[in-house]
Amino acid sequence: MESNNIPIVKMRNITKRFGAKVLANDKVWLDIYPGEILSILGENGSGKTTLMNMLSGIYFPDEGTIEVNGQPVVIRSPKDAFALGIGMVHQHFKLVDVLTAAENIVLGLEEPFDIAASSAKIRDICSRYGFDVNPDQKIYDMSVSQKQTVEIVKVLYRNANILILDEPTAVLTPQETDKLFAVLRNMRSDGKAIVIITHKLHEVEEISDRVAILRKGQFVGDMLTKDTTPGEMTNMMVGHAVKLNIERPDPVNSKPRLEVKDLSVRSPDGILKLDHVSFTLNSGEILGIAGISGCGQKELLEAIAGLQKAESGSIQYVEDDGSLDELLGKDPLEIRQKGVALSFVPEDRLGMGLVANMDLADNMMLRSFRRGHSFLTDRKAPHDLAEHVVHDLEVVTPGISTPVRRLSGGNVQKVLVGREIASAPSILLTAYAVRGLDVNSSYVIYDLLNKQKQNGVGVLYVGEDLDVLLELCDRILVLCGGKVSGIVDGRKAEKMQIGRMMTSLGGEA
């Protein structure tokens, strides 16, 4: 049904540069067919989103042509794109929190404002494709998956027949993903062209009819999904063969390292983010934390690191001789000075762990600049440490004095992890350590974490990819709405079981 069709969109020789050095898209060719789900597969930074942003009017290509329905077109703004029937659902939703779903959907449309008529049309769209949206519900009352649905309906409301979704499953549970895929299949049968941007192979296999692969801004090839294998796709995506298994050495000599008891944390606006969370982190193990995003993962790590005030409960560090040391109520500096080696790799690498405009050496200094009594800073030690990290972790950088914002995501992460590990921690907290990293860099990070684990470090690994959590972690703690839904054995647990535990306490339906 696909190949003998006429493409609805033809992109030819599309090139986009950012600045003098970054070539985001290099003469890319792409065809999109009606009644087909196309996956655009590629590692982070391969230019998937840039390419689609040019189709949806966010960017304008430096070179190349776009044809829609056989006509050459110029798309200068999202408005032009909508006029051509092209709509995009971005990774970061663009919704006004205090408005209702219907109000968000009609926002910006040049039609008479009649919320009742609009709501009726929204309900009509919903019943046609199987969406579940209440037009009168406020956005702030909605779950992530509901917000995403509003975004999709918003695009359909504008009569889009070419729908682009940027990593739509990144924020969804397995169950929500299934629901989304069902809706996408309905839209396909309706003759719409659907493009999903992703880097997850199993999703490509599950949902798409055809897959187009980008690597470093270049179009590598496209093929029917049923004719390809994960191995082939990975090779095309990365450029060489990679192993797809994560190692998991058995924990050695494990004993309790951190005892968290009845920890409750409230956000500044009074919402209970953690509700009586209790668990034990052992030395020499990787304890995974799973949960829908915003379920208290951030608050948990920040509470342990001393960045977040707790309402009640305790966080006790177990010294080697068995004595307990309360961490709660201490600030990050005191926790460090007490000799409790906590290393925290925050989720927002450049926003929290590193200073983007400073160079590698100055970023190494963040941890050590207080050393010594001199009023002046010691520049030698951090410089040496930076050289070590660059050498040991194979950081690709023009030099020690390059600002970290110039490095790619994987290298930034290596710099951050390298610095944290250099302080010889006994507990390593990581949040989304591989977010935005390509396949190779991800494996380097997994290896680093495993090495720490074998050195007896207790590793707390907050992750979003359940497949990785299940392959890497010894135990997995599942959070659901700030409560501990359960702790499962990483070697035995099932993905669907964890998915259920993420949405309901204990996993009961």
Partner 1 sequence: MKSKEPVFHIVKRDDLPLYKVIGIRLIAILLALAVCSLVTILVTKLNPLDVFRAVIKGAFGSTRKTWVTMQNTSVLLLIALAVTPAFKMRFWNVGGEGQVLIGAWAAAACMINLTGKVPEWFLIVAMSVTSIFCGAVWAAIPAFFKAKWNTNDTLFTLMMNYIATQLVACFAIVWENPKGSGTIGIINNATEFGWIHIGNKYLLPILVALVMTIVTYIYLNYTKHGYEIAVVGESERTARYIGIKVDRVMIRTLLLSGGVCGLVGLILVAGVNHTLTTTLAGGRGFTAVMVSWMSHFNPFTMILTSFLLVFLNRGASEIATSFSLNTSFSDILTGIIIFFIIGCEFFIRYSISFRSSARAKEG
Q: Which two tokens stand for residue 355?
A: 């200073």
- Which of the stretches 131-139, 201-209, 279-287, 325-333 binds partner 1 when contact is defined by CB under 8 A? 325-333
For partner 1, the closer of residues 222 and 362 by Cβ is: 362
> Can you tell me which of 20, 116, 271, 509 binds partner 1, judged by CB under 8 A?
20
> Can you tell me which of 72, 191, 230, 339 binds partner 1, judged by CB under 8 A?
72
228-236 own/partner pairs: CB under 8 Å, 24+ apart: 230/201, 230/202, 230/205, 233/41, 233/201, 233/204, 234/201, 234/439
Contact between 305 and partner 1 (CB under 8 A)? Answer: yes
> Can you tell me which of 267, 278, 357, 504 binds partner 1, judged by CB under 8 A?
357
Distance CA 11, CA 219 (A): 11
Contact between 333 and partner 1 (CB under 8 A)? Answer: yes
- Which of the stretches 140-148, 361-369, 480-488, 493-501 binds partner 1 when contact is defined by CB under 8 A? 361-369
Contact between 83 and partner 1 (CB under 8 A)? Answer: no
Contact between 365 and partner 1 (CB under 8 A)? Answer: yes
Q: Count CA atoms within 13 Å of residue 273 on its CB side.
A: 20
For partner 1, the closer of residues 302 and 438 by Cβ is: 302
- Which of the stretches 56-64, 196-204, 218-226, 232-240 binds partner 1 when contact is defined by CB under 8 A? 56-64
| Cα–Cα–Cα angle for 389, 394, 399, rounded to 5 degrees | 70
> Can you tell me which of 125, 358, 439, 487 binds partner 1, judged by CB under 8 A?
358
Minimum distance from residue 62 beta carbon to partner 1 (Å)? 5
Contact between 21 and partner 1 (CB under 8 A)? Answer: yes
Taken in order 359, 361, 364, 368, the sign of the CA dihedral is: negative
- The rounded Cα 42 to chain-centroid distance in angstroms is 15
> Can you tell me which of 375, 380, 492, 509 binds partner 1, judged by CB under 8 A?
375
Contact between 353 and partner 1 (CB under 8 A)? Answer: yes
- The rounded Cα 455 to chain-centroid distance in angstroms is 28
For partner 1, the closer of residues 246 and 358 by Cβ is: 358
> Which of 288, 302, 315 is CA-nearest to residue 469?
288
Q: Name residues whose C-beta falls within 8 Å of residue 289's C-beta, 6 or more positions apart in sequence.
A: 297, 300, 460, 461, 462, 463, 476, 477, 479
> Can you tell me which of 108, 332, 339, 506 binds partner 1, judged by CB under 8 A?
332
For partner 1, the closer of residues 349 and 475 by Cβ is: 349
**Position of tokens 């926002």?**
107
| Cα–Cα–Cα angle for 504, 505, 509, rounded to 5 degrees | 45
> Can you tell me which of 76, 79, 202, 495 binds partner 1, judged by CB under 8 A?
76
Contact between 377 and partner 1 (CB under 8 A)? Answer: yes
Minimum distance from residue 331 beta carbon to partner 1 (Å)? 6
> Can you tell me which of 23, 367, 423, 497 binds partner 1, judged by CB under 8 A?
367
For partner 1, the closer of residues 5 and 357 by Cβ is: 357
The overall longest dimension of the chain from CA atoms, in Å, is 76
With beta carbons less than 8 A apart as the criterion, state whether 449 and 433 touch. Answer: yes
| Cα–Cα–Cα angle for 346, 352, 356, rounded to 5 degrees | 125
For partner 1, the closer of residues 87 and 306 by Cβ is: 306
Strand partners, 9: 32, 68
Distance CA 34, CA 38 (A): 10
List of residues contacting partner 1 (CB under 8 A): 17-21, 60, 62-63, 72-74, 76, 305-307, 331-334, 336, 344, 346, 348, 350-358, 362, 365-367, 369-370, 375-377
